Structure 1
Amino acid sequence: MEQYKVILVDDEVEVIDVMKKKIHWNDLGFDVVGSATNGVKALELVEKLQPDVVLTDIKMPYMDGLELARKLNQDYPNIYIMLCTGFDEFEYAKEAVHLEIKEYMLKPISATELSESLMKLKTTLDREREEKLNVKKLEDYFQEVLPKLQSNFFISLIEGRVREEDYERFLLDYQVDMKGPLFCCIIFHTSENDVPDGMNPLLLSMSVEREIKQRLMENCNCQEFIYMGNTILIMELHSEDEIAQLTDKCDRFCRWAWRIMGAAVTAGIGTVCNSLYDISISYEGAREAVSYRVLYGTKRAINIAEIVPKESKKAVPLEETRMQELFRAIHVGDQEKIRKEAIKETEKLHKNAATISQYNLATMEIVSGFFKFCANNSMDFNEISGNVQNLYERVTQLDESSMTNWIINMSMAISEKLRSTRNSTSRRIITDAQNIVKDRYMEPALSLDDVCADLGVSNSYFSSIFKKETGQSFVSYLTDYRMDRAEEMVLNTDEKSYKIAEKVGYQDANYFSYVFKKKFGVSPSKYRASGK
């Protein structure tokens, strides 16, 4: 084991020499690494050699042993100090106790006495070293398991199981440094049904996780973990403007994963929240976004904020378990699943209600659940239900078959209204984009990125709904619009081709002619000459 370093301090050089020769330092576990004849020189040596023990006389020039001990206690509290003096004075002894000096010995000191003191000191130093090593081991182990502890903490957060009074303490204990001011949850779901031949679905999912770490987590403050077979990212954002860029980044990753790895990955992006404590809300939004893959397809990113009505009000709390599967089916628009879940709700209603009061209460909760669902999705429940007077009372009087039909019909009506509202939102976005093209088609730099930035949506979402609504990509639409304007100018003006090119957003006249010919079959000059 490494020996403890000692510095000897005494104004008499002979005393130092005697101590060096008479004491078997190495056998006792010590190594005399230096000596000094006064406190000032001793301090210089301490700074340079960093000893474990300083054995010093009291009476010395420039700086005595007590002053040296004070400075050592102040600047090097881990050094053990042994005092020796030829003066048996009470004041010295009292000061030594005050300075917490471990050994106070009177000269002349015998070799046996000093050796015994050193042996006791070594026992103390060994014990402290072992304790420090144990603490270091614990600290090393803590750092080793810290990623797992952080993952467990975030899983508890997204499940909503962290008490608010414990939240700040957990952030500190688990060294979570995410200050926001905004946060967002992303779920990456890898399909188990669409897997390359010979590939284990679990291994494919693990490969996707590895690529997410390498491709999406660079230069951003986020937390990644696996939960329920999905890769979860908790992202720190500085502004809501980043969410559209983040959606596009995830969309590019999903397309890359399919092209290179053969993995059908869907990225669900949840709503932005102002506090990490509320990340469970964003997680639920991300889950809902992933469920929309049956409508929008896999191998892409789906941002829940882009597919729900923009004017959604603050959410009304829903029951945690009641009707959740039914509501999920309504969101997706799966009619077969709606019927199945509606029948289950009716069966639960009749199975669990032992008295008429319990039955009435459970029935009212179903009606209330529909009401809250509509409120959360900016729909008028009374309008959908036909503005029926005393609806609560009427529903409680329905028999089992009628109750099942009512739940099915209400669910279908809400699902259709939700789809219509969603489509209306999509059409509004398309109309706004077409108006932007109409106003800015003459700008050469006008691009998909510019339009999406103006609309506040991601490129991936906008591209999918634009293609679905118009039957062509945005770039093709922009090109066609410019060519239509160019055709008008070719036929109705005497402008040169390069001038027309500039007016419809083309800086290169040759490229403009190429695009024009591709659409109309001939060059602008021949088109004008033919008078088409």
Structure 2
Amino acid sequence: MEKYKVILVDDEIEAIQAMEHKMDWDGLGFEVSGSATNGVKALELVENIQPDVVITDIKMPYMNGLELAQKLNNDYPNIHIIIFTGFDEFEYAKEAVHLEIEEYMLKPVNAVELSDCMERLKETLNREREEKLNVKKLQNYFQDALPVLRTNFFVSLIEGRVNETEYEKFLSAYQIPLEGPYYCSVVFHTSEHHVPEGMNPLLLSMSVEHEIKERIASELNCQEFMYLGNTVLIVSLDSEDKATELTDFCDRFCRWANRVIGAVVTAGVGRYCDSLLNISNSYEGARKAVSYRVLYGTARAINIAEVVPREQTVAVQSEDTKMHELFKTIYLGNVKDIESAVEREVEKLHKSAATVNQYHLSVMEMVGAFYRFCANNFMDFNDFFEEKENLYEKVPELDKATLMKWMKKAAVAISEKLKSARNNTSRRLITDAKNVVAERYMEPDFSLDTVCSVLGVSNSYFSTIFKKETGKSFITYLTDYRMDVAVRLIVETNDKSYEIGEKVGYLDANYFSYVFKKKFGVSPSKYRKSPE
């Protein structure tokens, strides 16, 4: 069985080493996945490692153990926390009761006592894991799914088959409170290709749905149901900017599901709308966002309004639904998949056309579908194929091989245009973010949340794009920018170190010195005496 992950936090390196070497972590069913000498560094490790247990001292620089525990409880409520404290801090440590600390222990650490503690904690973690994957419980939950009539109503709603009269009637009959004024659809897709050993894919999907109901639906004004193997949410939003918060909320769940129950869940978030009668458009956007996992990765949330440039629209007209799979591959941009989809379309065309007139009519419909697709995405179809005049007349006369070659060229060219638009949008986003940093780096509370709020995007999407475009995380970029400014001030001014720290966003002079030395290898004062 996979070992539970532990992070050790203590400002005394010797204490960390003692715990690492004196304890039989492997025999206890744990592995030490990392260590930190202060709470700030510990939070960075938690974000990257997603541990099951954090063992921390109370007295540490920059952020003490209780402050760390408070942040962990707020952002990672499923992490178990053990706190060490000296005898003279016993009363202070009692505050840990309010922070839901697993246990607190007196220093110096006794290996036997800590081993007993970890044995008890392992039993708790095993119970939690067994409860999540208990087959009987999942089967019982499957029988208690939403009533068929209510599910049918939601399915009809996202498929656009409910008129205004029916909509009002069913909302009242089923007592569904969705006040708006804005609405958004979210689709959670659980991969069938990444299933824990011995687990049935269907039961895993039911487990994910159960957790979505408990951890997400219970926190939102929304309705939840299953459709086509996915869990769907129809969410009521009180303002337009809540869509980005919703994306980050869903993103945290996807990461949790991957870490705790081994499910690879991708959440697609559609564009918001101002009427439930239009929720079908949001649902289609959410489904399309899920398909973008091949570009942006799984086990995360993807907002269609962020991955597709705002000046584009991803809607496919109803008369073009026969070519939906082809248009889907065009959006995703894989040339081989596009060409294969074209071949399937042409093969279907030749098999279904019984007469020449039917064939000509079908080919003209295909040309019209391309025209509409380009128009819906603010492109002129003629820009790609100026050499073909009177397409409606000439294309139907092409033989099978020539038609297939022409369609492949058309589809790939359109896909490249869409990809270029997405890349331009990403680069503009990064440029805007860097401009925000240049304007506000001196603010002590400036953070990832700040820049995402200014730009109107989710943390999840922005972090992915920023790392992809710059090669570093946003926090690393912000720290490097501040340190570069600090170096310039050290060289060009006579300001004291703490004054320079305040000018680049650090109110704590000691922490500023710590970050500076970590980057440049010397303290600010020594750097001034002999700058490199």
Change over 3 Å in CA distance of 1:504–1:357 after alignment to 2: same
Which residue in 1 is equivalent to 2:341?
Answer: 341
In the TM superposition, residue 344 of structure 1 has moved relative to its aligned partner by 1.4
Which residue in 1 is equivalent to 2:51?
Answer: none
Give the secondary structure class of the aligned counterpart of 1:183.
strand
How far apart, CA to CA, are the structure 2 residues paired with 1:333 and 1:393? Answer: 29
Which residue in 2 is equivalent to 1:102?
Answer: none
How far apart, CA to CA, are the structure 2 residues paired with 1:384 and 1:325? Answer: 21
In the TM superposition, residue 177 of structure 1 has moved relative to its aligned partner by 2.6
Which residue in 1 is equivalent to 2:217?
Answer: 217
The 8 Å contact of residues 186 and 232 in structure 2, kept in 1 or not, is answered as yes
Q: Alpha-carbon deviations, 1:463-483, whole Å to 9, x = none?
A: 000000000000000000000
- Give 1:112-261 correspondences, 5 Å limit: 147-261=147-261
Amino acid at match of 2:192: E
The 8 Å contact of residues 318 and 373 in structure 1, kept in 2 or not, is answered as no
Q: Does 1:462 align with 2:466?
A: no
Query: 238-247 or 372-381: which moved more?
Result: 372-381
5+ long unaligned stretches in structure 2: 1-143
- Give 1:255-274 correspondences, 5 Å limit: 255-274=255-274
Which residue in 1 is equivalent to 2:280?
Answer: 280
How far apart, CA to CA, are the structure 1 residues paired with 2:418 and 2:340? Answer: 19
How far apart, CA to CA, are the structure 2 residues paired with 1:188 and 1:315? Answer: 20
Give the secondary structure class of the aligned counterpart of 1:272.
coil
RMSD (CA atoms): 1.8
- Give 1:28-47 correspondences, 5 Å limit: none
Q: Runs of 4 or more off by more than 6 Å in structure 1? A: none
The 8 Å contact of residues 516 and 523 in structure 1, kept in 2 or not, is answered as yes
Change over 3 Å in CA distance of 1:266–1:370 after alignment to 2: same
Which residue in 2 is equivalent to 1:434?
Answer: 434
In the TM superposition, residue 416 of structure 1 has moved relative to its aligned partner by 1.2
In the TM superposition, residue 237 of structure 1 has moved relative to its aligned partner by 0.9
Which residue in 2 is equivalent to 1:299?
Answer: 299
Change over 3 Å in CA distance of 1:320–1:153 after alignment to 2: farther
How far apart, CA to CA, are the structure 2 residues paired with 1:145 and 1:212? Answer: 13
Q: Alpha-carbon deviations, 1:173-217, whole Å to 9, x = none?
A: 333332211111111111111111121111111111111111112
Amino acid at match of 2:334: D
Q: TM-score, normalised by structure 1?
A: 0.70
Q: TM-score, normalised by structure 2?
A: 0.70
Which residue in 1 is equivalent to 2:514?
Answer: 514
In the TM superposition, residue 334 of structure 1 has moved relative to its aligned partner by 2.3
- Give 1:289-328 correspondences, 5 Å limit: 289-312=289-312, 317-319=317-319, 321-328=321-328
Number of equivalenced pairs: 389
Give the secondary structure class of the aligned counterpart of 1:319.
helix
How far apart, CA to CA, are the structure 2 residues paired with 1:320 and 1:223? Answer: 30
Which residue in 1 is equivalent to 2:489?
Answer: 489
In the TM superposition, residue 163 of structure 1 has moved relative to its aligned partner by 3.9
Q: Does 1:330 align with 2:330?
A: yes
Identity %: 62
In the TM superposition, residue 146 of structure 1 has moved relative to its aligned partner by 7.8
Give the secondary structure class of the aligned counterpart of 1:516.
helix
How far apart, CA to CA, are the structure 2 residues paired with 1:190 and 1:493? Answer: 57
How far apart, CA to CA, are the structure 2 residues paired with 1:387 and 1:302? Answer: 38
Amino acid at match of 2:323: M
In the TM superposition, residue 314 of structure 1 has moved relative to its aligned partner by 9.2
Which residue in 2 is equivalent to 1:398?
Answer: 398
In the TM superposition, residue 318 of structure 1 has moved relative to its aligned partner by 4.1
Which residue in 2 is equivalent to 1:86?
Answer: none
In the TM superposition, residue 276 of structure 1 has moved relative to its aligned partner by 1.0
How far apart, CA to CA, are the structure 2 residues paired with 1:309 and 1:391? Answer: 29
5+ long unaligned stretches in structure 1: 1-143
Which residue in 2 is equivalent to 1:375?
Answer: 375
Give the secondary structure class of the aligned counterpart of 1:177.
coil
How far apart, CA to CA, are the structure 2 residues paired with 1:248 and 1:275? Answer: 23
How far apart, CA to CA, are the structure 2 residues paired with 1:241 and 1:485? Answer: 33
Amino acid at match of 1:510: N
Which residue in 1 is equivalent to 2:113?
Answer: none
Query: 373-382 or 312-321: which moved more?
Result: 312-321
Which residue in 1 is equivalent to 2:365?
Answer: 365
Q: Does 1:527 align with 2:527?
A: yes
The 8 Å contact of residues 264 and 298 in structure 1, kept in 2 or not, is answered as yes
Give the secondary structure class of the aligned counterpart of 2:327.
helix
In the TM superposition, residue 436 of structure 1 has moved relative to its aligned partner by 0.2
The 8 Å contact of residues 309 and 378 in structure 1, kept in 2 or not, is answered as no
The 8 Å contact of residues 224 and 232 in structure 1, kept in 2 or not, is answered as yes
Which residue in 1 is equivalent to 2:498?
Answer: 498
Query: 484-493 or 346-355: which moved more?
Result: 346-355
Change over 3 Å in CA distance of 1:418–1:265 after alignment to 2: same
The 8 Å contact of residues 183 and 274 in structure 2, kept in 1 or not, is answered as yes
The 8 Å contact of residues 182 and 236 in structure 1, kept in 2 or not, is answered as yes
